[in-house]
Structure 1
Amino acid sequence: MFDERDLGRAVGLVATRSFAVKLAAAGAMVGLLAFTMMAPFGVGGEKTVASCPPAWPGNVDDPQINGSLRTQQVAFAKIIDQVAVARGLPGKATLVALMTALQESQLQNINYGDRDSLGLFQQRPSVGWGSREQILDPIYAAEAFFGGAKPPEPPGLVDIDNWPSMSYTEAAQAVQVSAFPDAYARHERTAKAIAEQAGIDLMRAGDPYAGRSGAKPSGETGGGVSTLDDCDGQSLHAGKPVNGVWPVQSATVDDPTTSGRITPRTALWVKRARAELPNLSMTCWDAHLWNPRSDHPRGRACDLMVGADARRSPPARTAGDRIANWSVTTAGQTGVKYVIWYGQIWSARTGKWKAYDGGGGLYDTADATGGHFDHVHVSLY
């Protein structure tokens, strides 16, 4: 458990080390209230595909935090990210670090822990992470977590081969070697919320091995947070190429979602989607006068709304992921040709997701609608 005395000690320790944290500490000490938090130790979890926690939203997320604790968490997040930016690391490295610190210390610079563990990442002097004084310096602790050519000896993130290809929780575990390897995944949504509040760009590209000594693994590219490695929703599944012959059909069936007409294949897809996906908000036929190449006026496409810009709404992201994944995994039976969602497009021909280019520049991909962040587009053969 953490109480206000613990946080007061933690803030005091940091205040002598960083001007940025002095400001955070000064604000945090005003009206600091006692609170009860989940302990950072002893949290396990069922391992699932890609090490994402099961069935979010639910009981796998951090409790909602406001007030003084969140102010301090944002301040420490900024320090961690400043170290990553100075290194030239991608936004994904910052996210892994924030998820790790949330699990280990609730993103607090505490001066105690399991055995001799200390600080943001609960690093231990006895296993070579540094002296007590060094570990309690958040800048040093972040540098140590990220690793590289400088001491300490335990491998940090950049020393882990192929870490960008791992899920966030697997990358965190590769550094921490925790007895609870899946526990980091449960902090993803909170880490992203803190990052947004701190003005941190988690989509930032960079060198994932910046500062590493020796050769880097071949074939690795820098990048921000991939939309395909995301536990906010269910993560997007690529599936596989879909082979088959889908004869051309005309729009001869009344569209149950609008006043237009759609193909028999689209009509069957609509019926099945409504039966297997709950509470759909869907429109199919549309004149789409601004885009004569669209499948909508041909009766071969549907848009499924998720209710909000999913970049700012985790429930919308979850809903969109569910729709997109269902569309991809059933494409071989329904005749889905491509799916566009969350700035990505999936093709039945390749069985892969790639960045969406706005239909060759026709749509603004930074816009919620143009980038398909507020709806999933499904086109059929």
Structure 2
Amino acid sequence: MTVRRSVQREDLSFSTALTAAMATAARAPSSHNSQPWGLAYVVSDLARRRAAALCGDNLSQPDLPGVRVDIDAEFLLLAADRARELAALPAHHAEMQLSCGLYWRLLQRALAAEGWIVRTEVVSADLGVLGLPADWRPLRLARLERAGTPTETRTQLRDLAAARHTDRGPYLDKPIPVGVADTLARRSSQTSQRIDIRFLTSEDDRSRFVRFVARHAGRDFAHPAAWRETHSFIRRSETEARERGDGFSLEHLFGPLSATAMLLRRIALAPITMRLLRPTGFPRILAAQLAALVRQSPAVLLLSLPEAAVGDDELVAAGQLLTDFWLLATDMGLVLHPISVVIQHDDLHARLCAEFGLAGLVFFVARLGYSAHHCPPSPRRSPAASLRTL
């Protein structure tokens, strides 16, 4: 028995839209530029029937062999790729969920700009029935349909995503106007999920945060497993970074360097060197250098969820909200530089909350300001590298 599949004629147009959207979504930020997401396009009849049933479509026998069902929709599944995840610290799991949420939201906005919007989105333990790669952990399934007039154009979003970058360099001595901060907070909070947005802009608050970083940021360099994992994402050259499509080069971390300076940094940052220098207080020197950068920043951003204990779904959703915040900040001429080490260890997270009167789970901390130089974009994998068909 065969029931006409009405989207057969439209497969090519959605595939074209998906290709364009993935090219934009590939610019999403991720911890260590690890890009730990996987994306599955559901195309087989059996997988589509199962996806439709998971999304609530009324199918009497979704697994009946030989039956093609009239489903006027397309289905995409977001997954975390375990092969690309950071795992040295327990807190890295949350960072991976956030990273996947950042990508998912940018992909959704890019698809909406192509005329396809999410009508239904589900989180279910049953997503594995769609037949995922063994090292993928399913996160979200979306049912997409054709939409009306897009709220933003493909060109606008593509250019905005390309302009967004993590700027680890010095910032201008230019305060962020109160109206800009208010707009960022107001427009980023207009969702069903509440996030708390805190800006540290006063001299006292920023000085206290600088001291906090100087005291504690050396933890990342002093933790052998965490530093080995971080170092594995530092590429030997810009060419290697482009070829691998992930991580970051020394230029991304420190700006333009002479050959001698690059060699010295490569030696100093090697895990074996870090282990030998750890007793000398070298991690504290590196923490002081990071604190000096923070001191030059007009604001520090802290984002938190109301509850201290949250699940993967809430973290993916938080990543989606962070996407909108970051793109809005970019559109307003601002750049960000995450300072994740201050929340990657439970004791530091607790101290930070106590120091600044924060509640719940602080999931993102970053410098915020105006770039003093042009920061080169970090490399990206081919947009299709994360795509599978089911």
Tell me the TM-score normalised to structure 2 length.
0.25
Higher RCO (CA < 8 A, seq sep 6+): 2
Tell me the TM-score normalised to structure 1 length.
0.25
Of Structure 1 and Structure 2, which has the larger fraction of its residues in helix? Answer: 2
Larger Rg: 1
Of Structure 1 and Structure 2, which has the larger fraction of its residues in strand? Answer: 2
